[in-house]
Amino acid sequence: MRAEQPPAEALRAWLHRYADFIAAKHGLAESLQAGALAGAAEAARTRERVVEVVAAFLRDGEAAGELRWGLDADDVTAAVVGTFLVTRGVHDTAQVGRLLDLLVDGLVAR
């Protein structure tokens, strides 16, 4: 997916697919948050893998001049997890997608 699209669009597409995965795995967003805070090994490792994936997208975008320089993958991941947490149980199922789009738009180089 990363090589098939411009970096910002590849990140956007991956985030939307990841959101679908999170929605199907009830409680995973909380696990990503709680595991990182409480030090639970498996949840923390899952979050580390997500940070690694996000970092790869950010590197691609930075190298292409498409995403802002110096973004921290852990900060972006925290924003994504926060999006999942605040939209949990919301009746407007499209809200998570709109919020992820806002996040990606904020990462784009100006």
- Count up the domains in the chain and report the number: 1
The answer to whether residue 53 is domain-embedded is yes
Q: Find the distance separating the first CA and the last CA of the chain, reported in whole Å.
A: 24
pLDDT given at position 1: 58
Q: pLDDT, tens digit, for every residue of 65-102?
A: 999 999 999 999 999 989 988 888 888 889 999 999 99
The answer to whether residue 2 is domain-embedded is no
CA–CA gap between residue 61 and residue 47 (Å, rounded): 21
The answer to whether residue 29 is domain-embedded is yes
**CATH code, 46:** 1.10.357.10
Q: Which domain holds residue 45?
A: 7-107
pTM: 0.82
pLDDT given at position 4: 81
31 or 20, greater pLDDT: 20
pLDDT given at position 36: 47
7 or 3, greater pLDDT: 7
The answer to whether residue 98 is domain-embedded is yes
Q: DSSP state, 110?
A: -
* Confidence band for 30, pLDDT divided at 50, 70 and 90: low
pLDDT given at position 29: 59
The answer to whether residue 88 is domain-embedded is yes
The answer to whether residue 1 is domain-embedded is no
How many H helices and E strands in the chain? 5, 0
